């Protein structure tokens, strides 16, 4: 697309300005067409300075994701090979499940700037204002159905690692798949699956990361327990490279998982903040307290109660009582 090429040329200009004549020649279009594309870019939020003798120069880049840029320099084999960006959806997970039914290849990423019906764990809503990352990855692992919950752990390892690498912030994992920084939640993962009794058809691994939104955009009860990467880093975070780092780490850990899932569990244990803590578990109206001892080979939490019996917890909310 000519507009995207103009943007690319302006962004890569070493001298700052690029003349309308150069842009027109490089693209094989008229200078009037160049001007029209510049106006369109301004409408999309770019600040573009025009100087009659020198040409055009970018002065402001809006914080919007651009479809054709998301894959640039990603260098993954399958995760993110195909990326579909939407300005607004109900839920990227729902869209990813639909895309999978229609044959989307493994690794397809569905991403949106905002969601009107974002889904959280245990039937909750995931409030999705602009400025964050909301995306779902189509996966088709050849593993037994009962191992599907491990995919969320793979995702959690990837997200925590990517935040550590790209933002230099020590993100940790709270069982099963909440990403925490300084005791507050910054990201969550939700896996949905279509399966037969002995075979997974496809999975949508949904990831929501609170990146640049204002915390005021969340209702007070959610805000109390939440943070954003921008808040923790003290600066706005560029979402494209962060997304790409997550996708690279996801590919890395997903490949390891397919051959040796124990490696992923070990990494999850290294990054987690739950094991060794006294915890309260609440699930479906039942609440109990105990010591989180570890996770089993299916990623379930092992909790030893005060009467020395051990409970194997497959789902629920964990509150850390004491470290
Ligand atoms: C949780 O911690 O409760 C899980 C939150 C998962 C949110 C993400 S945002 C992208 C994807 N689409 C959804 O509707 N949910 C997941």
Residue of 85, 93, 178, 184 to mutate, ligand 1, most atoms within 8 A of C-beta: 93
Cis amide bond preceding 176, omega within 30: yes
Choose the residue to mutate in 113, 118, 204 for probing ligand 1, maximizing ligand atoms within 8 Å of C-beta: 118
User: How sure is the predictor about 322, in pLDDT bands with cuts at 50, 70 and 90?
Assistant: low
CA-CA distance, 30 to 133, in Å (whole number)? Answer: 38
pLDDT in tens, 18-73: 999 999 999 999 999 999 999 999 988 889 999 988 999 998 888 889 988 999 99
**Crossing angle of helices 239-259 and 149-167, rounded to 10°:** 140
Query: Which atom from ligand 1 is nearest to the alpha carbon of 92?
Result: 12
H helix or E strand, kind and range, residue 164: helix 149-167
What letters, b where the CB count within 10 A reaches 16 and e where it falls short, cover 288-322? eebbbeebeeebbbbbeeeeeeeeebeebbbebee
Which parts of 166-221 are beta strand (E)? 172-174, 178-181, 184-196, 199-209
Phi then psi for 154, rounded to 5 degrees? -60, -45
Tokens (6 digits) for 214 = 């204002």
Say what the pLDDT of residue 68 is: 87
Average pLDDT of the chain to the nearest whole number: 94
Rounded to an integer, the average pLDDT of 121-125 is: 91
- Label residue 304 by pLDDT band (50, 70, 90): very high
| Residues 170, 188: Cα–Cα separation, whole Å | 16
The DSSP secondary structure of 226-273, one letter per residue, reads B--HHHHHTS---HHHHHHHHHHHHHHHHHHHHH-HHHHHHHHHHHBS
Which sign does the torsion angle of CA 93, 90, 120, 208 carry? positive
**Local structure of residue 109 (DSSP, 8 states):** E
Q: Which helix (H) or strand (E) holds 156?
A: helix 149-167
Neighbouring CB atoms inside 10 A of 91's CB total 24
Determine the distance separating the centroid of ligand 1 and the alpha carbon of 295, expressed in angstroms: 23
Report pLDDT digits (tens) over 243-294: 999 999 999 999 999 999 999 999 999 999 999 999 999 988 899 999 999 9
Pocket of ligand 1 (CB under 6 A): 91-93, 115, 118-121, 124, 126, 134-136, 178, 188-190, 206-208
The rounded percent of the chain whose pLDDT value lies above 90 is: 87
Which atom of ligand 1 approaches the CA of 135 most closely? 10
Backbone angles phi, psi at 198, to 5 degrees: -120, 15
CA of 205 to the centre of ligand 1 (A): 9
State the distance from the centre of ligand 1 to the C-alpha of 117, rounded, in angstroms.
10
pLDDT at residue number 198:
85
Ligand 1 pocket: which of 65, 111, 112, 134 to mutate (most atoms within 8 A of CB): 134
The set of residues, in sequence order, having a beta carbon less than 8 Å from that of 270 and lying 6+ positions away, is none
Cα 191 to ligand 1 centroid, rounded to whole Å: 8
pTM, entire model: 0.88
- Of 57, 54, 71, 2, the closest CA to residue 32 belongs to 2
Closest-CA residue, ligand 1 atom 15, reads 119
Angle in degrees, 0-180, between the axes of helices 239-259 and 261-271, rounded to the nearest 10: 130
């Amino acid at each position: 697309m000519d507009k995207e090429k103009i943007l690319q040329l302006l962004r890569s200009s070493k001298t700052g300005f690029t003349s309308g004549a150069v842009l027109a020649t490089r693209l094989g279009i008229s200078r009037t067409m160049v001007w029209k594309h510049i106006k369109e870019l301004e409408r999309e939020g770019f600040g573009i300075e025009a100087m009659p003798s020198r040409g055009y120069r970018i002065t402001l880049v809006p914080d919007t994701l651009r479809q054709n840029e998301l894959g640039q320099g990603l260098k993954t084999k399958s995760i993110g090979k195909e990326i579909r960006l939407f300005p607004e959806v109900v839920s990227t997970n729902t869209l990813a499940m639909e895309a999978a039914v229609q044959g989307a290849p493994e690794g397809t990423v569905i991403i949106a700037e905002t969601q009107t019906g974002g889904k959280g764990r245990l039937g909750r809503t995931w409030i999705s204002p602009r400025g964050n990352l909301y995306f779902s990855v189509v996966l088709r692992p050849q593993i037994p159905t009962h191992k599907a919950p491990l995919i969320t752990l793979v995702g959690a390892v990837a997200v925590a690692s990517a935040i550590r690498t790209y933002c230099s912030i020590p993100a940790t994992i709270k069982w099963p798949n909440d990403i925490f920084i300084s005791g507050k939640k910054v990201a969550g993962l939700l896996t949905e699956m279509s399966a037969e009794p002995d075979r997974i058809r496809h999975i949508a691994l949904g990831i929501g990361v609170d990146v640049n939104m204002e915390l005021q955009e969340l209702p007070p009860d959610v805000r109390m327990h939440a943070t954003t990467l921008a808040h923790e880093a003290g600066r706005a975070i560029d979402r494209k490279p962060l997304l790409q780092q997550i996708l690279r780490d996801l590919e890395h850990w997903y490949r390891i998982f397919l051959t040796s899932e124990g490696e992923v569990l070990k990494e999850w244990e290294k990054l987690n903040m739950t094991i060794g803590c006294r915890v309260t578990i609440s699930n479906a109206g039942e609440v109990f307290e105990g010591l989180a001892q570890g996770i089993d080979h299916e990623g379930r939490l092992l909790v030893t109660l005060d009467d020395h019996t051990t409970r194997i917890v497959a789902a629920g909310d964990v509150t850390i009582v004491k470290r």
